[in-house]
Amino acid sequence: GQKINPVRLSFQYAEPAHSDAYKKHFQCPMLFDQPTNTITLPINILGVENRKNNDYLYQILKEHAENVLSKVDVQVNFVDEVRGMIAGRLCHGNFSAEEIAASLKISKRTLNRKLNDENTTYQAILDSIRKEMAISYLEQGECSVQTIPFLLGYSDSRGFLRAFKRWTGGSVKKYTM
């Protein structure tokens, strides 16, 4: 009987004109033009028991999911893998190109070559992630403007504020009001 709201939604398509209806319904930050469609749920949902569990329906849905997954190419897109690694490491500070390459068991040169083959660069991916996360943090309002630079791997707020202005053409204030 408890309503569970997502923490964040990501969509592969461009933001539609009626996105306000999405925001009103889901009440969480939404990112458009993303590499994958994702629903991020709160961690506490893992402890929620479904008292209306239907074993028969579960078996039908499980078989259908397994059938669909067997036909899907499970090869993770290299750029998405790098994005995920960077995003997960930003607040810890170990997200340099060298560290990401080492985690992938490749050289930095190979990392750069593979990203170049995908028409992107390490810096472009890093900037994109930082921009998305900064806007999301600001729109959620759960993080102070002083905390966000450190969550995004900046050593001080000046670098973050300059980058934010470059990304958005405006100041942080327009996202906090």
In this structure, the dihedral spanned by the alpha carbons of residues 122, 124, 127 and 128, taken in order and rounded to 10 degrees, is: -110
Q: Is the pLDDT of residue 21 over 90?
A: no
Q: Is the pLDDT of residue 177 over 60?
A: no
* Overall pTM surpassing 0.85 (yes/no): no
Residue-level length of the chain: 177
Q: How many CB atoms sit inside 10 A of residue 101's CB?
A: 20
How far apart are alpha carbons 143 and 146 in whole angstroms?
8
- 106's CB contacts (< 8 A; 6+ apart) are 114
Section 88-100 average pLDDT: 88
Confidence band for 119, pLDDT divided at 50, 70 and 90: very high
- 8's CB contacts (< 8 A; 6+ apart) are 28, 29, 30, 31, 38, 40, 136
Tell me, what's the pLDDT at 158? Answer: 92
Q: Is the pLDDT of residue 128 over 90?
A: yes
Q: How many CB atoms sit inside 10 A of residue 117's CB?
A: 10
